[in-house]
Amino acid sequence: MEHAALVAELTSRWPEHRVGPALSRISALMDLLGNPERATPVIQVAGTNGKGSTCIMIDALLRAAGLRTGRFSSPHLSDARERISIDGEPISEERFAEVWGEIEPFVRMVDERKLDGIDMTFFEVITGMAYAAFADAPVDVAVVEVGLGGSWDATSVATPQVSVVSPIGLDHTHILGDSLEKVTSEKAGIIKPGATAVLAGQEPAAARVLLARAVEVGAVVKAEGPDFGLLERHPAVGGQVIRIQSEGGPVGDLFLPLHGAHMARNAALSVAAVEAFLGGQPLEPGIIEEGLASVVAPARLELVRTSPAIVVDTAHNPQAARVTIEACREAFAFQPLIGVVGMMADKDTVGVLEIFASAMDQVVVTRARGTSRSLPVDELARTAEEIWPAGKVQKAPGVADALELATLLADAAGPAAGVLVAGSLIVAGEARDLLAREQETNS
């Protein structure tokens, strides 16, 4: 089967945004496969924002330390293969098909049982593929990003050695609950007996829930502030130079090729997670330096084009939008800044747009192709027009049209102008693909 057809078949299953909150189906699959999720130690990462970049940095640090890694991430920007990486690279189309061929008969067996009334979801299937691929490789450690929540997320079929929690905010409230305590309670489910919980700085309400969970299960806690953290940072060309507190004491002059204070804090969290995995042993400064310098995090304030400058980011909720705008101002200082924004219908559209409007002089609203979750352009435009001054909101039916219009606006505004694409991971991925193809054509 061609790769695109295979991905289409898999994604036609119960979609990720309609979760089946139970571990019954993924547990049944793992049992049929001989429990590959137990074949390698797991570092599991949950949170509202920063999960993906933290996993990427943990992966890079582990590889710098000489370990073979598997990394599971979600969702993907361009290709489902991105979700299953070994030694920092997505598995090949051929290997993706092989893994599916190996587990497909067992997936069908679970489907026939209709556990909790549904077939296996797409997310459960690709999680199962990841654990099977990691066991077959084999890898020394699996870095696993939670899809949604924590306690019943399919990735939680494994018992992590290290449970990492990035900053938590209100998101997916229709699924996880309408308060910070309820959301945190679901995410705290990844903290298991015998694990080390590595916790980013949190709002007090979230911190109380996480610490109570750690006490309940007897997990060791490493917390940002008393145990590790960011000591200082300075913007630099292509990223920033940071100094962090590690198990071995302060480590400085570390180049991180990512922008923003939030990424610097994620780097400190990642180092703490790896040191916890190594039993509390400090990483050598040279390994930290090598690992962080090698980080590549697509669509995290990624400059994908110049003349005019176009930056792509995945910010899709108010918490992420706020740190993205702060980092964009610091790293690029565009004058003016023109936005290309698309939103999913289940997100806090007003909250995100109000933050974007504080920095975006003009905005082109658009819609991602291929998903019914995208907010219609006219509806998004009506909301934006209530936030931006008159005449500052324009509409484009698709991302390609939006990029073309934003480019014209930036060209007309002068050499200091720039474009920021944000509001949806799907929009960011589509924009990134379009710009990459344009670059290939021009070269």
pLDDT of residue 441: 74
| pLDDT value of position 64 | 98
Report the C-alpha gap between 7 and 42 in whole angstroms: 26
Q: What are phi and psi of 348, to 5 degrees?
A: -80, 80
List strands edge to edge, sheet with 89-90: 89-90, 84-86, 69-72, 141-145, 42-46, 162-165, 196-199, 220-223
Outline which parts of the chain fall under CATH 3.90.190.20. Answer: 302-442
Q: Distance between CA atoms of 131 and 140, rounded to whole angstroms?
A: 12
Q: What residues does CATH 3.40.1190.10 cover in the chain?
A: 3-294
3-class DSSP assignment, residue 13:
coil
Q: Which of 90, 65, 132 is nearest to 3 (CA)?
A: 90
Cα separation of 13 and 57, whole Å? 31
CA 89-149-123 angle, 5° bins:
50
Q: How far apart are CA 199 and CA 71, in angstroms?
A: 20
Q: Are 314 and 53 in contact (CB under 8 A)?
A: no
CATH match for 302-442 among 3.30.450.40, 3.90.79.10, 3.30.565.10, 3.90.190.20: 3.90.190.20
* pLDDT given for residue 173 in this prediction: 55
- What was the pLDDT predicted at 346? 84
Six token digits for residue 347: 């997100």
State how far the Cα of 12 lies from the Cα of 250, in Å rounded to an integer: 49
Q: Please report, in tens digits, the pLDDT of each residue of the chain (443 residues total).
A: 699 999 999 999 987 666 778 899 999 999 999 999 999 999 999 998 899 999 999 999 999 999 999 999 998 999 999 999 999 999 999 999 999 999 999 999 999 999 999 999 999 999 999 999 999 999 999 999 999 888 889 999 999 999 999 999 866 556 666 788 999 999 999 999 999 999 999 999 999 999 999 999 999 999 999 999 999 999 999 999 999 999 999 999 999 999 999 999 999 999 999 999 999 999 999 999 999 999 999 999 999 999 999 999 999 999 999 999 999 999 999 999 999 999 999 889 999 999 999 999 999 999 988 777 889 999 999 999 999 999 999 999 999 999 999 999 999 999 999 999 999 999 999 999 999 888 777 76
CATH code at 3-294: 3.40.1190.10
